[in-house]
Structure 1
């Protein structure tokens, strides 16, 4: 497995993948998908496409404040899930955080999302909850 994270240029790919992966959660929790909000966030987040052995398999997106980097989206195509791309991307996110001179990596995940176990295994702890979302963080 040869992983790469390259600056994203294909907003359509990112939007479709994110919407596809998140639709079950949005439907379950009554959240409305908003293309305009996604497009606006695209302008303000740091967006990377995830490649495994030259094949594009996902997207990761970050924002940050004075103290932390926020993992805003980590979306892996369903055909490539559970093969190590998510874990490798979390390691990339920690390096990204260090390069940005931030002390903490933070994220939010739906409480019933299987990715929660991955985050816990990679050092994240729960720091709070907001309805169906869990806020998690790890020092870097």
Structure 2
């Protein structure tokens, strides 16, 4: 139920993001979802890719500062209030969301959202108890 996310620390200068995507492309690694958070000096690129271990290794070899983090990919009903319903379930159990971002593909008619939460196992459990589909990593990598 957990998905491996790759995070890359990038200096905020021209060409760094292009360099990352070029390296991934050369290694036949497909980006499934991404998010960039930046400041004036640096950014953090968060990626879900089809081959996370290979992505980690090739970016590390290229000299990037890289880390791997476990996140969850959650199906959210694709209508007004759909995300709010899922967030309310987590909030009721005291599960804090550190960040989230949307996925590029859908696994069904529902929207797919990536969550980084403090209590990942508890989040997976409570979402399942509330009939919210949390996708397996191998299913996400195939999208």
TM-score bracket, normalised by the shorter chain, equals under 0.3
Larger fraction in helix: 1
Between structure 1 and structure 2, the one with the greater Rg is: 2
TM-score, scaled to structure 2: 0.24
TM-score normalized by the length of structure 1: 0.25
